[in-house]
Amino acid sequence: MCLFSVIIPVYNEEEYISRCLQSLIAQTMNDYEVIIVDDGSGDHSIEICKKFQSKFRYCSIISHTKNMGASAARNSGIKYATGSYIVFLDSDDTLSPYFFETLIPKIKEYNYPDILEFLMNYIEKDNCRSIQGTILNEGLYERQFLKDIFIPVHLECVRNDEYSYTLFNTLRVIRRLLITENHIMFNVNVKRWEDWSFAIQIFLCANNMVVVKMPL
């Protein structure tokens, strides 16, 4: 069993998926499995994925017969995942080459925390870049903080653009058993901002969270 399961929903992403998968191949550590969920793509996305498949130690491609949405695709990926931690990666995202190399020591240092939160380098279409993610300092945050401060503040982010990216699940890795034992799934009826309700459920159930102040 790998330490990480990387779940990638794919729907007509032929423009981006090669770059996404290449960022996984470029990792300095390979303790991960890749689960690609074909959500009824009608372009060449999955043909591209199949060309990359043999380059990974472990890579599965799951197919939906029709487009069901990102929530359903991620739920399918969760069901197939075997890793200790879930990584949600979108087709137009890329990982730092040091993604796993950075997180593995933190996981061991903090004795396998429920959540590891990090930053992202957000690139606009005009190539304007900004670092986005949590404003918290690096370190360990326990359940009481999450319950009393973290969750109430982030529920306000619906009305505050300053924090509008902090609930995207590409900004964290989550212990798989936290998801499965609490029966947390994405709401397939929510088509936009589906990350938010999932993330709040995760934080409500988590015992702790580690913040890593690096754009990974």
Contact 156, 141 (CB under 8 A): no
Contact 101, 19 (CB under 8 A): no
Interior CA angle at 166 toward 212 and 64, to 5°? 105
Tokens of 102: 């950075």
- Per DSSP (E only), the strands in the chain are 4-10, 32-38, 59-63, 85-88, 115-123, 129-132, 139-142, 172-175, 208-215
Per-residue exposure over 61-92, b if at least 16 CB sit within 10 Å of its own CB, e if not: bbebeeebbbbbbbbbbbeebebbbbbbbbbe
For residue 165, what pLDDT is reported?
A: 58
CA distance 78 to 180: 8
pLDDT digits (tens, 9 = 90+) for 160-197: 555 455 778 999 999 999 999 999 999 998 877 788 88
What is the SS3 assignment for 6?
Answer: strand
Average pLDDT, the chain: 91
pLDDT digits (tens, 9 = 90+) for 101-156: 999 999 999 999 999 999 999 888 788 788 888 888 899 999 999 988 888 777 76
Phi, psi of 35 (to 5 degrees): -120, 105
What radius of gyration do the chain's Cα atoms show? 16
For residue 186, what pLDDT is reported?
A: 95
pLDDT digits (tens, 9 = 90+) for 77-114: 999 999 999 999 999 999 999 999 999 999 999 999 99
